Amino acid sequence: MANKQRVKGAEALLMSLIAEGTDIIFGYPGGQVIPIYDHLYDYKDQINHILTRHEQGAVHAAQGFARVTGRVGVCMATSGPGATNLVTGIADAMLDSTPLVCITGQVPQTLLGTDAFQEADIISMTMPITKWNFQVTSASEIAGAVAKAFYIAQSGRPGPVLIDITKNAQVEEVDFAYKPCIYLRSFQPKPEFDPALAEKAVEMINRAEKPIILAGQGIKLAGAEQALIEFAEAGNIPVAQTLMGISSVANDHPLCVGNLGMHGNVAANEMTQHSDLIIAVGMRFSDRVTGDLKTYAPHAEIIHVDIDQAELNKNIRVALLVHADAKDALEAFKVGLKYKDRTAWFAFAKDKAALEDKLVISCSADPEGKQITMSEVVQRLAVAEKSDAVIVTDVGQNQMFGARYSRFNRTRSFVTSGGLGTMGFGLPAAMGAKLGVPDREVVCIMGDGGFQMTMQELGTIMQNRIGLKMIVLNNNYLGMVRQWQQLFFDRRYSFTDLENPDFAVIASAYGIPSRRVTEPCDLEAAIAELVDAPGAFFLEVIVKREENVFPMVPAGASLSKLIFNE
Give the start-end residues of each E strand in 121-275: 132-136, 160-166, 173-176, 211-215, 239-241, 256-259
Answer whether 76's CB lies under 8 Å from 137's CB: no
Rg value, the chain, Cα: 24
The residue annotated as part of the active site, out of 400, 480, 540, 552, is 480
117 is catalytic: yes
Beta-bridge partner residues of 5: 176
Which is nearest to 169 in space by CA: 6, 8, 7? Answer: 8
- Per the annotation, the verdict on 480 as an active-site residue is yes
Helix (H, G, I), strand (E, B) or coil at 538: strand
Task: Specify the amino acid at residue 236.
Answer: N
- Number of residues written out for the chain: 566
Alpha-carbon distance values, 349 to 262, 276, 324, 367, 428 (Å): 18, 15, 30, 27, 37
Is-contact 31 79, C-beta < 8 A?
yes
Question: If we measure between CA atoms, which residue out of 482, 503, 489 comes closest to residue 547?
Answer: 482
What is the enclosing helix (H) or strand (E) of 66? helix 55-69
- Residues 474 and 500: beta-carbon distance below 8 Å: yes
Q: Is 453 a catalytic residue?
A: no
Maximum pairwise Cα distance, the chain: 73
CA distance 318 to 66: 32
**Which of 131, 167, 210, 220 is labelled catalytic?**
167
- How far apart, in whole angstroms, are the C-alpha atoms of residue 363 and residue 356? 9
In the set 4, 5, 46, 117, the catalytic residue is 117
The values of phi and psi at residue 204, to 5°, are -65, -40
On whether the CB atoms of residues 340 and 363 are closer than 8 A, the answer is no
The residues pairing with 447 across neighbouring beta strands, listed in sequence order, are 473
User: Helices (DSSP H) in 236-373: which residue ranges?
Assistant: 266-274, 287-290, 326-334, 343-359
Distance CA 370, CA 377 (A): 14
Q: Does 141 qualify as catalytic in the annotation?
A: no
| Residue 534, φ and ψ in degrees, nearest 5 | -75, -20
Residues 6+ apart with CB under 8 A from 310: none
**397 phi and psi angles, rounded to 5 deg:** -60, -40
Using CA atoms in the order 554, 555, 561, 564, what is the torsion angle rounded to 10 degrees? Answer: 20
Q: Residue 176: what residue type?
A: F
Q: Count other C-beta atoms under 10 Å from residue 371's C-beta.
A: 18
Question: Would residue 503 show up in a list of annotated catalytic residues for this protein?
Answer: no
Q: What is the DSSP string of 426-489?
A: HHHHHHHHHHHSTTS-EEEEEEHHHHHHHGGGHHHHHHHT---EEEEEE-SB-HHHHHHHHHHS
Catalytic residue among 109, 118, 273, 456: 118
Q: Judging by DSSP bridges, how do beta strands 277-281 and 211-215 pair with one another?
A: parallel
Point out the catalytic residue in the list 8, 15, 26, 55.
55
**Looking at the annotation, which residues are catalytic?**
55, 117-118, 167, 480
